[in-house]
């Protein structure tokens, strides 16, 4: 092990020596975060508009999360799910209070994919049916069940056969879903806003139509809000924009204030669960629950959901005013925002990183922003200006070629 001073270069080399290889390795190493900012190993500061793919809704090292985790780590970190615990009891109360009426049961797990796995099991258990209908362009995670529901062949095909009985219909096309949902369908699973699939919003007709279709055919509606939940879209959950509720809600990413956590919300349409039906060693551990308690308290008391709505409106309008032929469309909800480009996104992301801004792709031509909900408007103003400059430069370079 090297004991000399860490640099972007040295950390990259050390990681590459032992990595599995599944992650593209970037050229900067991030070593510290505070609020909406990150610092690399060479000391350069960045505005973080990725927030760990929508994990850091409260920003990095939020004082309340730091305090809660620090206290709990010296008190009790791990405990089997069969023993009740003060942090878990409080978290289950806070989470069910944060969910719509009727969601008075939750299963706690450790990640988004795990929440999907449990949701699929509970839908099969409730209906006694095997079938699953998911959406084209959907993304639900990398474990076998979640992967089977994911659309992109590059994730799925090398690992087939996955769990059978998953069919995909075009996102937004109610007719396509109506063709596939039948007597053997346990559930329909979709994102309210497709994140990895390009920040694509459901229309009200589509989402309400799916709700009615599931009711009519006796299937459960699972909404995957792993990315869009916890204030990201300017509502607690994105489905609140649409006036419907799911039967099962899957949650992850931002739920634990940066700690690994996931959860499944169970509506009244889900059957009674019994001992042995499901479980998780780390699910609902006191440390994650303490972080979750601080997170939910902060989201509510600091009105961060409302903040995401207002700041997101402003941000999307400002991005829309960028005068560039490269911009096809600005879309999003709250602070889940995308710029659909006429050029490839990779060079735009690289140029933004050069200027100290971290953003995300969502497909080959979509630039995605998932900034912390606590981000200052000045930071977003800086981002808008930089995006305008980068697109102008790329246009000039493209024309010169």
Residue 332 near ligand PLP by CB under 6 A: no
Please pick, from the candidates 227, 285, 293, 365, the single residue that binds ligand PLP as defined by CB under 6 A. Answer: 227
CA distance 366 to 338: 6
* Closest CA relative to residue 57, chosen from 382, 375, 284, 355: 375
Query: In this chain, which residue has its C-beta nearest to ligand PLP?
Result: 112
211 counts as binding ligand PLP under rule CB under 6 A? no
What is the spatial distance between Cα 233 and Cα 227, in angstroms, rounded to a whole number? 10
252 touches ligand PLP by CB under 6 A: yes
CB atoms within 10 A of CB 183: 9
CB nearer ligand PLP, residue 252 or residue 334: 252
User: Which residue has 């450790």 as its token pair?
Assistant: 110
Q: Which is nearer to ligand PLP, 135 or 348 (CB)?
A: 135
The yes or no reply on residue 11 touching ligand PLP (CB under 6 A) is: no
C-alpha to C-alpha distances, 215 to 185, 253, 370, nearest whole angstrom: 12, 29, 33
Of 8, 92, 111, 295, the one binding ligand PLP by CB under 6 A: 111
258 binds ligand PLP (CB under 6 A): no
CA nearest to 121, candidates 308, 235, 278: 278
DSSP symbol at 26: P
324: left (phi over 0), alpha (psi -120 to 50) or beta: beta
At 253, list the tokens.
Answer: 């990413």
What mask, x for binding ligand PLP by CB under 6 A, covers residues 117 to 156? ----------------------xxx---------------
Per-residue CA distances from 330 to 8, 336, 360 (Å): 33, 11, 15
Taking the complex as a whole, how short is the minimal distance between the CB of residue 135 and ligand PLP, in angstroms? 11
Question: Where does this chain touch ligand PLP (CB under 6 A) — which range of 220-228, 231-239, 284-292, 384-392?
Answer: 220-228
Please identify, among the stretches 26-34, 105-113, 151-159, 369-377, the one whose residues bind ligand PLP according to the rule CB under 6 A. Answer: 105-113
Catalog residues that contact ligand PLP under the rule CB under 6 A: 53, 111-113, 116, 139-141, 191, 195, 224, 226-227, 252
């Amino acid at each position: 092990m090297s004991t000399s001073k860490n640099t972007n270069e040295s950390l990259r080399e050390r990681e590459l020596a032992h990595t599995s290889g599944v992650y593209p390795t970037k050229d900067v190493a991030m070593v510290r975060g505070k609020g909406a900012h990150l610092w690399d190993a060479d000391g350069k500061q960045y505005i973080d508009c990725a927030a760990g793919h929508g994990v850091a809704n409260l920003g990095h090292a939020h004082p309340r999360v730091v305090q809660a985790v620090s206290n709990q780590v010296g008190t009790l970190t791990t405990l089997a799910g069969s023993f009740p615990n003060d942090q878990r009891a409080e978290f289950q109360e806070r989470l069910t209070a944060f969910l719509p009426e009727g969601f008075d049961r939750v299963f706690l797990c450790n990640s988004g994919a795990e929440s999907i796995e449990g949701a699929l099991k509970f839908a099969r258990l409730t209906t006694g049916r095997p079938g699953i209908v998911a959406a084209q362009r959907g993304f639900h995670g990398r474990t076998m069940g979640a992967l089977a529901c994911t659309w992109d062949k590059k994730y799925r095909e090398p690992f087939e056969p996955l769990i059978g009985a998953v069919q995909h219909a075009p996102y937004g096309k109610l007719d396509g879903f109506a063709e596939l949902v039948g007597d053997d369908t346990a559930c329909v699973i979709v994102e309210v806003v497709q994140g990895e699939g390009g920040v694509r919003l459901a229309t009200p007709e589509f989402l309400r139509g799916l709700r009615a279709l599931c009711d009519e055919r006796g299937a459960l509606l699972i909404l995957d809000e792993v990315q869009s939940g916890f204030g990201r879209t300017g509502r607690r959950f994105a489905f609140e924009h649409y006036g419907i509720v799911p039967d099962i809600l899957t949650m992850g990413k931002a739920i634990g204030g940066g700690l690994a956590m996931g959860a499944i919300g169970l509506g009244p349409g889900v059957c009674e669960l019994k001992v042995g039906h499901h479980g998780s060693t780390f699910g609902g551990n006191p440390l994650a629950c303490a972080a979750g308690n601080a997170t939910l308290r902060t989201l509510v008391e600091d009105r961060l959901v409302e903040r995401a709505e207002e700041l997101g409106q402003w941000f999307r309008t400002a991005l829309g005013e960028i005068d560039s032929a490269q911009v096809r469309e600005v879309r999003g909800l709250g602070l889940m925002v995308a710029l659909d480009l006429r050029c490839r996104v990779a060079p735009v992301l690289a140029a933004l990183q050069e200027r100290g801004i971290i953003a995300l792709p969502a497909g080959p031509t979509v630039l995605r922003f998932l900034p912390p909900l606590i981000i200052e408007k000045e930071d977003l103003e800086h981002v808008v200006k930089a995006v305008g400059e980068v697109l102008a430069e790329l246009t000039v370079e493209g024309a010169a070629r």
